[in-house]
Amino acid sequence: MLAADLYFDKIDLARYFTPEEAAAAGAHDPGDLAARLRAGEVSPAALDFLAPHKRHALAIALTPGEFLPQVPSLELPRPVPPDLVELNDPGPEAPLLVTGNSEFTLTVMTALLALTLSPLYLLLVECRGDTVDMAMVYRSFTPQRLDQGLTTHRLAARLKEKRLILPGVLAPLKAELAAYTGWEIEVGPICAAELPLFLGEAWQPPA
């Protein structure tokens, strides 16, 4: 099986550390601490001055292959029904994650989101079943389809703020999507395994 690229090499650890945290770990700066973590010279468990949720998120980002399943690289789309997935009884302040309606994207996201107790919404937008990188190539993730998903599930009325998190690979579409939908759009990471770090305190590990 030719495995799909899950962009593990795009994970950026340094952006999640302050200079003070780097110094506390004996590193010169956030980049140095990230390099030491990647080299195995420092483990997340040793950084006991960090909050438990951040250490948990670091463990996922450092060993993403242990947490995310391999999925095949396909030439043809594999759609699942576009839908809204509600995790851990989300309320009006829960983050809204947006992605495409690919079967394999859902497989990866399901595996990742099984690792948190945090309330979250996951909106699967109709894009023919393309993975988000292919949706970018084929322009199947459109403002109209995003707006349709938001409207169908009445998310503007359900959430305190009209804000959503877009996969990083779709960053070039941010302005177009925001202008059409009227929603505030935050660009998330390219690799799903970086998402727990990106969410910060909104990512709580199991007890």
Task: Say whether both 108 and 25 belong to one domain.
Answer: no
- pLDDT the model gives residue 199: 98
- 146 and 120, same structural domain? yes
One domain for residues 50 and 147 = no
Report if residue 149 sits inside a domain: yes
Whether residue 26 is found in the same domain as residue 126: no
Domain presence at residue 136: yes
User: What are the pLDDT digits (tens) for 166-202?
Assistant: 999 999 999 999 999 999 999 999 999 999 999 999 9
Please count the structural domains in the chain: 2
Q: Quick one: 15 and 91 in the same domain? A: no
Residue 78 within a domain = no
- Is the pLDDT reported for residue 85 higher than 80? yes
pLDDT given at position 3: 86
Please check whether residue 187 lies inside any domain of the structure.
yes
> Could you list the residue range(s) of the whole structural domain that residue 43 is in?
8-66
58 with 127, same domain?
no
User: Of 175, 99, 153, 176, which is closest to residue 130 (Cα–Cα)?
Assistant: 99
In a domain, 74, yes or no: no
| Residues 45 and 133 both lie in one domain | no
Q: What is the pLDDT of residues 143-159, one digit of tens each?
A: 999 999 999 999 999 99
- Do residues 99 and 197 both lie within one domain? yes
Cα gap 136→61, rounded to integer Å: 24
The mean pLDDT of 6-29, rounded to a whole number, is 97
Same domain, 111 and 182: yes
Average per-residue pLDDT in the chain?
A: 96
Whole-number pLDDT of residue 150? 98
Tell me the per-residue pLDDT of 46-55, one tens digit each, with 9 for 90 and over: 999 999 999 9
CATH number, domain of 121, equals 3.40.50.11600
Mean pLDDT (whole number) for 118-123: 98
Judged against a pLDDT cut of 70, whether residue 1 lies above it is answered with no
pLDDT above 70 for 138: yes
Beta bridge partners of 121: 86, 96
Say if 75 falls within a structural domain: no
Q: Is the pLDDT of residue 129 over 80?
A: yes
Average confidence (pLDDT) over 83-108: 97
Work out the percent of the chain whose per-residue pLDDT is above 90: 94
196: amino acid identity, one letter: P
Give the C-alpha separation, 83 to 106, whole Å. 11
Single pTM value for the model: 0.95
Q: Where are the alpha helices (DSSP H) in 7-162?
A: 19-24, 30-39, 52-62, 103-113, 132-138, 143-152, 155-158
Residue 207 lies in a domain: no
User: What is the full DSSP assignment across 136-163?
Assistant: HHHT-S-HHHHHHHHHHTTHHHHSSS-E
pLDDT confidence band for 76 (50 / 70 / 90): confident
